[in-house]
Amino acid sequence: MEVTNPATGERVDSYEEDGQDDVEAALETAVETFDSWRDRPLQERTDLLSNAAEVLRENEQRYAETMTEEMGKPITQAKSEVEKCAWVCEHYSEHASEYLDEKGHPSPAGSSVKTVYEPLGPVLAVMPWNFPFWQVFRFAAPYVTAGNVGLLKHASNVPGCSEAIEEVFREAGYPEGAFQSLLVSSDQVEGILEDERVKAATLTGSGPAGRSVAATAGENLKKTVLELGGSDPYVVLDDADVEAAAETGAWARVQNGGQSCIAAKRFIVHTDVYDEFEEKFVEQMESYTVGDPTDEETEIGPQARESLLEDLHEQVEDSVDAGADLLTGGEPLDREGAYYPPTVLANVPEGCPVDSEEVFGPAAPVYEVEDEEEAIRKANDTQFGLGASVWSEDRERGERLAGRIDAGCVYVNQLVKSDPRVPFGGIKESGYGRELSGAGMREFVNRKTVWVE
């Protein structure tokens, strides 16, 4: 695996892929570890998770630099990502006992009936490059603490992050095999998932990758959780705080270089405030500092790969050719590295790429709508259903419209985010299942009924 720094185009490092013998050894180790790990008292597992939080914080700078070097995330955002991983570890360390507490049921006199939550075994996680630490920890913290063991197949452009995460668990004191990183190519995933020793799988990534994993898992009757793409609507109503909506919306579009499934991607604005929003939104998009991701002043770094920049630019160009108006940006920056500026398009034709496809970069289409009904129709006019944001000074109105948007989560007067305290996941082409909170922790357990007469 060759790693290239997207900010410079220079080769960073080379990693040897794991062969079939390595995979076999990892699977054997996972099974052996699970046999004892599942029986460890929950308190011991949560104590280790607290240790993991400490390891993350102690090595924050180094882990952040690895992210920045491999996929271009601005260093300040990379450090925030490491801190968020420490937070999710602390959250499950504190709340795992509550989430996994057995549940009693009504039963006849003289008997007791309850549901207990038991781990399944080795869980395969296929994870993406855009949040290379957070995506992993939001699966690993709950699932491993529930008594499962983890096998990570990370994206091929972040092998250093993959090995660093394995280091976190090792340094925290976890037994060998509780969490293992596999440096394998995507074409090896099917064989690993088919292996009877792997009991379940979770994937965050593209629709085609999700379908492939779901199909293989389905043929082998294995549980899956999929978090796929998104084209999240950002609805600004006529009574919204326009300045706040524009400022938050711009950041919701460009953070992490716009490379986020839950980024705000389609800005749907009521006609009464459209002109004001467009002006403030463009102004905000143009205000960001684009540059060297190792510089703490940088807000937008490069796209993670040159090919991703090319795909993004093609979407923008094809949309302009179809009739969209380019308000700012729209051309790769004339500098070394895969840099693309914050871009805004208006009068976007229906069916053009930025309207109908997921846009994975800092390009934002803005739509003008006449009323609430048109806003809801446009918000739901997508194959995706991950998140959505609604802006209104009337909180009851915002909540009412939130109930009509087809998405796994809707935030009123806030950007969409993943938070350890609440369930996260999508519907439609955005996948199924939930991560985080108690709902996420109980995805990969056997909900066993125990009846004692």
Helix, strand, or coil here: 348? coil
For 79, phi then psi, to 5°, come to -65, -40
CB–CB of 323/316 below 8 Å?
no
Beta strands in 200-292 (DSSP E): 200-204, 223-227, 232-236, 264-270
Do residues 116 and 146 make contact, with C-beta atoms less than 8 angstroms apart? no
Alpha carbon separation from 142 to 91, 94, 185 (Å, rounded) = 9, 11, 26
Which H or E run includes 98? Answer: helix 75-99
List all residues 6 or more positions away from 138 whose beta carbon is below 8 Å from its beta carbon: 88, 418, 420, 424, 435, 436, 440
- Is 374 in the active site? no
Buried b (16+ CB within 10 A) or exposed e, 359-398: bbbbbbbbbbbeebeebbebbebbebbbbbbbbbeeeeeb
Within a 13 Å sphere around the CA of 135, how many CA atoms are in the beta-carbon half?
A: 27
Cα 443 to the center of its chain, rounded Å: 17
User: Do 74 and 299 touch, CB atoms closer than 8 A?
Assistant: yes
Rounded Cα distance, 207 and 128, in Å: 12
Q: Catalytic residue among 69, 70, 90, 227, which?
A: 227
From the list 38, 256, 253, the residue with the least C-alpha distance to 145 is 38
The catalytic residue among 161, 261, 352, 409 is: 261
Element (H, E) at 253: helix 242-254
- As a whole number of angstroms, the distance between CA 124 and CA 213 comes to 10
Q: Label residue 275 left, alpha or beta by phi (over 0 means left) and psi (-120 to 50 means alpha).
A: alpha
Annotation marks residue 261 as catalytic:
yes
Q: Residue 349, Cβ neighbours under 10 Å: how many?
A: 15
Residues marked active site are found at: 227, 261
